[in-house]
Amino acid sequence: MVLCQGGEGDAAPAAGGQEPEVPPGREDGPGAVQPCPAPGVEAAGAEERRACGCCSGMSWPFCCEAPGAKKKAACPGLGLFYTILSAFLFSVASLFLKKIEDVHSVEVSAFRCVFQMAFVLPGLIYYKTGFLGPKGKRIFLFFRGFLGSTAMVLLYYAYQVMPLADATVITFTSPVFTSLLACIFLKEKYSLWDVLFTLFAVTGVILIARPPFLFGSHVTGIEGSYSDHLKGTIAAIASTLSAASTIVILRKVGKSVHYFLSIWYYAVIGLIGCVIALFVLNEWRLPHCGRDRVFLILIGLLGLGGQIFLTKALQIEKAGPVSIMRTMDVVFAFILQVLFLNHIPTWWTVGGALCVVASSSGTAIRKWRHSVKKAKRREI
């Protein structure tokens, strides 16, 4: 039975992919036995019992094609609004991470994984996906979890040792590296446009890192020592490569694995790795300041909220516009850095940000247009 568009039934299929049972009085198959109407009732009730094809037997007062019935129109731009809200939540979480003083980035990542697990566990139980996944996909899920959690730890470290805007900008080179890795491992096409966007991204990273052999020994506009700035840059680049590898793995897996199961591997493997690393580094400790504890909780909640809104955006909007709108992360990072961290970015950072944003936006637009053309060919 197919339910009306916009109704409660189109949100998610029943567990196991089976159709829900037909309620009493809704059997409309060719072999269903229909009771004979009482005399005089057939004419009056004939119009009410008529049904359109999309509702499979639902009477006109409840039918989406009923005369005079108004369809529930989708709110235009809602997906882009969700994307902006997601970018804002991620940026505020990064700001709180900068404000934490006595907590190692690995420990912050461990707390983030705990929040992820608490959110995903009920979903796994509800959808009955299991906790290990299909046998042929477990190795991919393991590397997805390992690389995803590694990207998170490295990014948090970069946030702590270098300016917020600089680390955020470097992460936006991920689409370029994704195209390169997809060409190597998935045999996807890598055109001259992709080469150009890669050069733009590399130029942006160089302008942000400002290596002394190009910019001299006196580098301005950084936090702390240049060695920490360089370590943060390397960590941010490694985080971006790990995130790009994660996306390639998810493409390889496709829709054969529920996305809740993918997040579950990410959280579980990340938590185990973070706990082991904390004991090896001897950095495991609860924050002494009550403010830091509040910041840890807020980072987990805001990161979770950002993921939820980004997922909602991708469900109702095409990936191209969402990828372009995600560059608002950079804008929010610059604003929050100036307002709350009293750190004014240099023109080198602004130039690097423009290069990276142009690169990631160009990559997103090109792939969006390619997908639209592909969809039109299928229709023809």
**Tens digit of each residue's pLDDT (9 = 90 or more) over 77-134:** 788 898 899 999 999 999 998 888 778 888 888 888 888 888 888 888 888 888 888 8
Closest to 150 measured CA to CA, from 275, 264, 262, 239 = 239
- Tell me the three state secondary structure of residue 290: helix
- The answer as to whether 101 is a domain residue is yes
Residue type, 161: V
Q: What is the pLDDT of residue 30?
A: 39
Q: What is the pLDDT of residue 76?
A: 67
- Domain containing 316 equals 91-379
- Distance in angstroms (rounded) separating the CA atoms of residues 175 and 173: 6
- The answer as to whether 344 is a domain residue is yes
- The answer as to whether 240 is a domain residue is yes
- The answer as to whether 250 is a domain residue is yes
- The answer as to whether 193 is a domain residue is yes
- The answer as to whether 372 is a domain residue is yes
Find out whether 88 and 274 touch, Cβ atoms under 8 Å.
no
Find out whether 157 and 141 touch, Cβ atoms under 8 Å.
no
Residue type, 132: L
Closest to 322 measured CA to CA, from 306, 333, 334, 311 = 311
Q: What is the pLDDT of residue 272?
A: 93
- Distance in angstroms (rounded) separating the CA atoms of residues 154 and 242: 9
- Tell me the three state secondary structure of residue 33: coil
Q: What is the pLDDT of residue 7?
A: 37
- The answer as to whether 8 is a domain residue is no
Domain count, the chain: 1
Find out whether 94 and 152 touch, Cβ atoms under 8 Å.
no
**Residues of the chain with confidence (pLDDT) below 50:** 1-73
Q: What is the pLDDT of residue 325?
A: 83
Cα angle: 268, vertex 270, 274; to 5 degrees: 120
Q: What is the pLDDT of residue 334?
A: 92
- The answer as to whether 58 is a domain residue is no
Residue type, 33: V
